[in-house]
Chains A and B, each alone.
Chain A
Amino acid sequence: MTMKYSEEHEWVTVEGDIATIGITDYAQKALGDIVFVEAPEVGSEINQGDEAGVVESVKAASDIITPVSGEVVEINEDLESAPGTVNTDPTGDGWMFRVKLSDPEELDGLMDAAAYKAHCESLDG
């Protein structure tokens, strides 16, 4: 399954018309120890670029910007008791929510792994 990335450091994978979204390894490293994740409500409609949730580290709160539009169909409830999973497995068990895609073409505007790597390197100067 191909992983796509946003400039705001979210990743997306798609199976059928369901997208899974989380934050990247680069993002979890920058945030530090994550202590709280607030995912969007199941059933809510979110649009690309919306603040769909919040991830809080010991230091600060940071918005989760959804890279795709659609209806939220599932959230990762395990993160409520174990938010640190986002640090240890950001692109696996640390996934945050799933949406039923309303505009699959949005995926074409996201970065592939090589482009995202270059994006991170440009930020690190």
Chain B
Amino acid sequence: MTETDLLQTPLDALHRQLGAKMVGFAGYAMPVSYPLGVLKEHEHTRQAASVFDVSHMGQLMIRGDDVIGAIEKLVPGDIAGLASHGTRYTLLTNDQGGIRDDLMVSRLGDALYVVVNAACKAQDLAYLRASIGNQVEIEELTDRALLALQGPQAAEVLTRFSPAVQHMNFMSVAEIHFHGTACLVTRSGYTGEDGYEISIPADEAEDFAQLLLGEPEVTFAGLGARDSLRLEAGLCLHGNDIDETTTPVEASLTWVIGKSRRARGGFPGAPIILDQITNKPARKRVGILPEGRAPARAGTEITDMDGTPIGVVTSGGFGPTVGGPVAMGYVKTAFFSPDTPVQLMVRGKALPAKVARLPFTPHRYYAG
């Protein structure tokens, strides 16, 4: 794909003005880093607050008389049990128990506000319309940008624009006006830090981003930092760590399957997924901590201490906050336990590593 084929987010001109290095990602021209660089953008996010343009992600509004009943046919999450203005991380599963996509679902009165991955949004939309389109109305919010403001100072910054965001619960949604512009704000993110995701009309996005950037705590951060932050936080990237062939149980995402759903089932792949909860899966996603300095990238083979293959790295790189390489991947059942010694086959050499507890960097979400 050449650059001219790439779609642009509403902040495209601002990224270029700020000197961002742009790359193609999921069909969009996206900033991978700014002149500050991935390492410093990562560190800044852990220490202060950063704005990420995530407008490439799909934003949907689903409305209807039984919108909860409809969506619960497709996800294993307990959406019925979600409080009004609650937000939940859930999965679109397939009939084999695999993961079509991971998504955020927020309850707004009788509607659901849904955010899906950029790379999956076209097929998600087609699948949702084919599956439940006769029961509910599904609207793609194509005229909205999505900005993530992440970091320990995110709340202090955003509260200056509206006091209403200060005490929002972690994983909740609210309709907030910033200078008269109606936005949808969730207190959530993809960094392991406190923060917000702000859905804003596309034609207001650049002005608002400039206002945020004008705050002393705030800088812009790109996809590079977003990836190292989420990896340290142990969060999955669809297409790498989870996909159509990995089940939620294998992916160590059993917690997303609501208690009531374990009893009721009724989501795609339920027989396979519920059986794995009882009988344990053959493999599981774990953290992997290389003992040396060499990063192990996605696709690196994991072996036992005798050199027998036991799994594969699905995400790996350098963790700036950890100060060394970090990875996650799937290993066979016998190797689940933290501190189990394993080897990583990097460029033909067996490098020592250990299975590690996730996250590598403790989550610091808002706890009220």
A residues in contact (CB < 8 Å) with B: 32-33, 35-36, 38, 54, 56-61, 80, 83
Contact = CB atoms under 8 A, between A and B. Distances in A.
What class of interface size applies to chain B in its complex with A? Answer: 10 to 19
Contacts of B33: 32
21 contacts: A32-B33, A32-B38, A32-B39, A32-B224, A33-B38, A35-B39, A35-B293, A35-B295, A36-B295, A36-B318, A36-B325, A38-B294, A56-B318, A58-B38, A58-B39, A58-B42, A58-B228, A59-B38, A59-B224, A59-B317, A83-B293
Nearest to B293: A36
B289 to A, nearest CB: 15
Contact of A58 (B224, B293, B294, B347): B224
Given A58-B318, A58-B320, A59-B32, 20 more contacts: A32-B33, A32-B224, A33-B38, A35-B318, A36-B294, A36-B318, A38-B294, A54-B347, A56-B294, A56-B295, A57-B38, A58-B39, A58-B42, A58-B224, A58-B228, A59-B38, A61-B295, A61-B297, A80-B293, A83-B293
Contacts of A61: 295, 297
Contacts of A60: 297
Contacts of B281: none
Question: Which secondary structure characterizes the binding site on chain B?
Answer: mixed
Contacts, number: 43
A90 to B, nearest CB: 15
B64 interface: no
B37 interface: yes
A31 to B, nearest CB: 10
Interface of B: 32-33, 37-40, 42, 224, 228, 293-295, 297, 317-318, 320, 325, 347
A58 B325 contact: no
Contacts of B37: 32-33
Contacts of B42: 58
Nearest to A54: B347
B347 A33 contact: no
A33 B32 contact: no
A89 to B, nearest CB: 16
A61 B295 CA distance: 9
Contacts of A57: 38
A61 B299 CA distance: 13
Contacts of B317: 58-59
A11 to B, nearest CB: 22
A54 B297 CA distance: 13
Nearest to B33: A32
A75 to B, nearest CB: 14
A9 B318 CA distance: 23
A35 B40 CA distance: 13
Contacts of B228: 58
Nearest to B23: A59
